[in-house]
Amino acid sequence: MAEQLRLDSYLDFAAGRSPQMVAVSQTVHAIAAAGRQISRILARGPLAGNLGTIVGESIDGDGQKALDAMTHTIVREALSRAPVSVFASEEADEPEVLDAHAPLAVAIDPLDGSSNIDTLAPVGTIFSILPGGSRVADDPKAPFLQPGRTQLAAGFLIYGPQTALVLTLGAGTRIFTLDPDSGAFIATRGEIQVPRTTREYAINGSNLRHWDPEIRTYIMELKKGHNGPRGEDFNTRWLASMVGDAFRIMVRGGIYLYPADQRKGYRAGRLRLVYEANPIAMIMEQAGAAATDGRDAILDLVPTEIHQRCPLVFGSADEVLRVADAYSHGEASNSPLFKTRSLYRKTTSTIDELA
Ligand SMILES: O=P(O)(O)OC[C@H]1O[C@](O)(COP(=O)(O)O)[C@@H](O)[C@@H]1O
Ligand SMILES: [Mg+2]
Ligand SMILES: [Mg+2]
């Protein structure tokens, strides 16, 4: 059997590239250790306490559950031992300065998919590692208001039947599976290459009536299957856990969409740019996939607030391009999505066609 690639060796090798990568490697080590701890709590589930109980409200109005708060504390503890100047979390209103002189900034969603806590569906921890900058003491938000292209590394842990770490250090994307016996994260596949094409899509279809016409029409064309303009059948998968959907897309392709919609609080989508969309976009791009808000590449957006939301579409590159194309051409387009035989000419009545 070929020798196993362990996360430790992978990080040691990367650390040889520059002093900055030494700090990145130490920080990924710290996050992986936090992930091990969270994975043990999740494996015990209700035996570890009432993890799904609402204990507060996060800044954007989502109920904060006991496990959201617990995972925030675990990650914070881990990062306070890493070379991290400032830490932004979904579960904290403001970024927290840990060591103003340290070289890195970290943005984290400590628990993604938290509506799944009690359902045994996967949840995860998403992270983005950025240069810390020199102004952290005066302006702790500054490192997070850079476009996602400046990320030095990004990844997520997923806690499912296995715990895995999906990681990019800016040179490809790898998946490491946690061996619960030894505590080691071990690479279980080669470098990830997401298939360019797919016939599988993930979206919360209950929001159809609230979507932009571009998204509504795109999805309706998929639903028409081989009788529709796409000429082939598509399958739906929606876990209500972005890490779960992203993991599936990493291993077999697919597209995930959480578009903007007309509901109050969703006009800029649901996902948060700094600690959800940016890291996922970097992971995807490094695996040959793509991520857009419908108009621009996610990694080119310049955040203006730490908790800002953005529409998010990511996955198999050809399919993401189709969505971007739909937005850029509108109804006048000649793109396949808008041809006369497509549903696109009748965006208002097509909801009825689906019923
Ligand atoms: O409940 P909805 O509207 O389908 O949203 C589900 C989406 O929201 C999220 O749960 C947002 O993340 P949080 O759980 O960290 O708030 C995604 O993981 C998931 O894809
Ligand atoms: Mg999340
Ligand atoms: Mg969360």
Residues 121-163 pLDDT 10s: 999 999 999 999 788 989 999 999 999 999 999 999 999 999 9
For ligand 1, say whether the CB of 259 is within 6 Å of any of its atoms.
no
Least confident segment among 104-118, 140-154, 335-349: 335-349
- Which atom of ligand 1 lies closest to the CA of 112? 15
User: Does 14 reside within a domain?
Assistant: yes
pLDDT value, residue 350: 43
User: Do residues 119 and 160 both lie within one domain?
Assistant: yes
pLDDT band at 1 (very low <50, low <70, confident <90, very high): low
User: Do residues 308 and 182 both lie within one domain?
Assistant: no
Give, in order, the Cα–Cα distances in Å from 218 to each of 133, 173, 201, 223, 320.
41, 29, 11, 9, 11
For ligand 1, say whether the CB of 113 is within 6 Å of any of its atoms.
yes
At 259-306, the pLDDT tens digits run 999 999 999 999 999 999 999 999 999 999 999 999 999 999 999 999
- Check if the beta carbon of residue 217 is closer than 8 Å to that of residue 342: yes
For ligand 1, say whether the CB of 223 is within 6 Å of any of its atoms.
no
pLDDT value, residue 273: 98
User: Do residues 170 and 78 both lie within one domain?
Assistant: yes
- Check if the beta carbon of residue 195 is closer than 8 Å to that of residue 316: yes
From 112, 118, 275, the mutation candidate for ligand 1 (largest count of ligand atoms within 8 A of CB) is 112
Residue 134 is labelled as binding a ligand = no
At 26-35, the pLDDT tens digits run 999 999 999 9
Task: Give the Å distance between the CA of 143 and the centre of ligand 3.
Answer: 21
Q: What is the ipTM, given to two decimal places?
A: 0.98
Domain count, the chain: 2
pLDDT value, residue 29: 98
User: Does 123 reside within a domain?
Assistant: yes
User: Does 53 reside within a domain?
Assistant: yes
Domain CATH code at residue 302: 3.40.190.80
For ligand 1, say whether the CB of 325 is within 6 Å of any of its atoms.
no
The predicted model gives 33-52 an average pLDDT of 94
User: Does 315 reside within a domain?
Assistant: yes
Task: Give the Å distance between the CA of 97 and the centre of ligand 3.
Answer: 20
Any idea what the Cα angle at residue 72 is, between residues 71 and 76, rounded to 5°?
115
Which-ligand-closest: CA of 241? 1
Among 140, 163, 187, where does a domain finish?
A: 187
Which residue owns the Cα nearest ligand 1 atom 7? 240
User: Does 195 reside within a domain?
Assistant: no
pLDDT value, residue 352: 46
User: Does 97 reside within a domain?
Assistant: yes
Residue 111 is labelled as binding a ligand = yes
User: Do residues 122 and 34 both lie within one domain?
Assistant: yes
Among 163, 187, 211, where does a domain finish?
A: 187
Domain containing 300 equals: 200-354
For ligand 1, say whether the CB of 121 is within 6 Å of any of its atoms.
no
DSSP string computed for 112-175:
ETGGGTTTT--EEEEEEEEE--S-TTT-TTGGGSS-GGG-SEEEEEEESSSEEEEEESSS-EEE
Model confidence at 341: pLDDT above 60? no
Q: Which two tokens stand for residue 23?
A: 């700090």
Task: Give the Å distance between the CA of 197 and the centre of ligand 1.
Answer: 25
Model confidence at 234: pLDDT above 90? yes
Mean pLDDT, the chain, whole residue set: 91
Residue 318 is labelled as binding a ligand = no
User: Do residues 97 and 232 both lie within one domain?
Assistant: no
**What's this model's pTM, rounded to 2 decimal places?**
0.92
Which residue owns the Cα nearest ligand 1 atom 14? 113
Residues near ligand 3 ion, CB 5 Å cutoff: 90, 109, 111-112
The predicted model gives 46-62 an average pLDDT of 82
User: Does 78 reside within a domain?
Assistant: yes
pLDDT value, residue 344: 33
User: Do residues 75 and 175 both lie within one domain?
Assistant: yes
pLDDT value, residue 347: 36
The predicted model gives 15-21 an average pLDDT of 95
User: Do residues 171 and 249 both lie within one domain?
Assistant: no
pLDDT value, residue 59: 64
What percent of the chain is predicted at pLDDT more than 70?
A: 91
User: Do residues 151 and 36 both lie within one domain?
Assistant: yes
CA 337 to chain centre: 27
Model confidence at 332: pLDDT above 90? no
Which-ligand-closest: CA of 244? 1
Among 158, 187, 216, where does a domain finish?
A: 187
Residue 258 is labelled as binding a ligand = yes
User: Do residues 183 and 47 both lie within one domain?
Assistant: yes
Domain CATH code at residue 141: 3.30.540.10
pLDDT value, residue 135: 86
At 261-274, the pLDDT tens digits run 999 999 999 999 99
User: Does 177 reside within a domain?
Assistant: yes
User: Do residues 168 and 238 both lie within one domain?
Assistant: no
User: Do residues 135 and 257 both lie within one domain?
Assistant: no
User: Do residues 103 and 247 both lie within one domain?
Assistant: no
